[in-house]
Amino acid sequence: MALEHAILVSLLEKPGSGYELARRFERSIGYFWTATHQQIYRVLKRMESDGWVDVRDVAQYGRPDKKEYSVADPGRAALAAWLTEATEPESVRHDLAVKIRGAAFGDPAALISEVERHRQAHTDRLAHYLAGEARDFGDPPPHGGPDAERELQHVVLRGGIAYERMMIAWLDDVLATLAHFDTDH
């Protein structure tokens, strides 16, 4: 389980409230690990009682008060320990792959629009990643020497870009394959 660890990383990058974390999980870190606000509040509470994070009440004007969480030393230590642990690659769940194999027992052409929908989603996400890359990593680093946080965020983003490009190419292959079974053909 890595939700705790994903939250620790996000809070190290920038302290914030449960609400703010939930927003980050809709973008940025959320592209590699998903979580809803309900999950986040529950886990934050557990992490607080375990002493992994500190809380600070922040009064805001024109907005509800919030609780700002930041990583405490035991949280830092827990993250460092997890980093060197061997974790298995997460199990894969590609329902499209199941659908494609299932299409052999129904109408393969009926899948085309669903595959096109997925292709569009991956194209959109790729454009979004590329825009983020140009924005955040387009210029040479503000100061000389390697900046670990920046370079590691960039290599993770490059992974997302490579994944989306691979998926788009594969979905084109899938569409070409499905076209063989189109009844109009």
Partner DNA sequence: TGCATCATGTAATCAGTTACATGATTTT
Partner DNA sequence: AAAATCATGTAACTGATTACATGATGCA
Tell me 35's DSSP state: -
Q: Which does 37 bind (CB under 5 to 8 A by kind): DNA, its own copies, none?
A: DNA
- Considering only residues 30 to 59 of the shown chain, the ones binding its own copies according to CB under 8 A are 31-34
Q: What is the rounded CA–CA span in Å between residue 156 and residue 16?
A: 22
Count of residues interacting with DNA (CB under 7 A):
26
How near is the Cβ of 57 to its own copies at its closest, in Å? 25
Of 101, 135, 139, 144, the residue at the interface with its own copies (CB under 8 A) is 101
The closest of 78, 73, 63, 79 to 19, measured between CA atoms, is 63
Closer to its own copies by CB, 18 or 75: give it.
75
Whether the Cβ atoms of residue 24 and residue 10 lie closer than 8 Å to each other: yes
Whether the Cβ atoms of residue 75 and residue 8 lie closer than 8 Å to each other: yes
Q: Does 165 help bind DNA (rule: CB under 7 A)?
A: no
DSSP symbols for 153-173: HHHHHHHHHHHHHHHHHHHHH
- Considering only residues 155 to 174 of the shown chain, the ones binding its own copies according to CB under 8 A are 155-156, 158-159, 162-163, 165-166, 169-170, 173-174
CB atoms under 10 Å from CB of 83, counted, come to 10
Helix H or strand E encompassing 47:
helix 37-49
Whole-Å CA distances, 63 to 26, 58, 73 = 21, 11, 30
- Considering only residues 116 to 145 of the shown chain, the ones binding its own copies according to CB under 8 A are 117-118, 121-122
Q: Which residues bind DNA (CB under 7 A)?
A: 1, 3, 17-20, 22-23, 34-39, 41-42, 44-45, 60, 62-67, 91
Q: Which residues bind its own copies (CB under 8 A)?
A: 2, 5-6, 8-9, 12-13, 29, 31-34, 76, 79-80, 82-87, 89-108, 110-111, 114, 117-118, 121-122, 146, 148-149, 151-156, 158-159, 162-163, 165-166, 169-170, 173-174, 177, 180-181
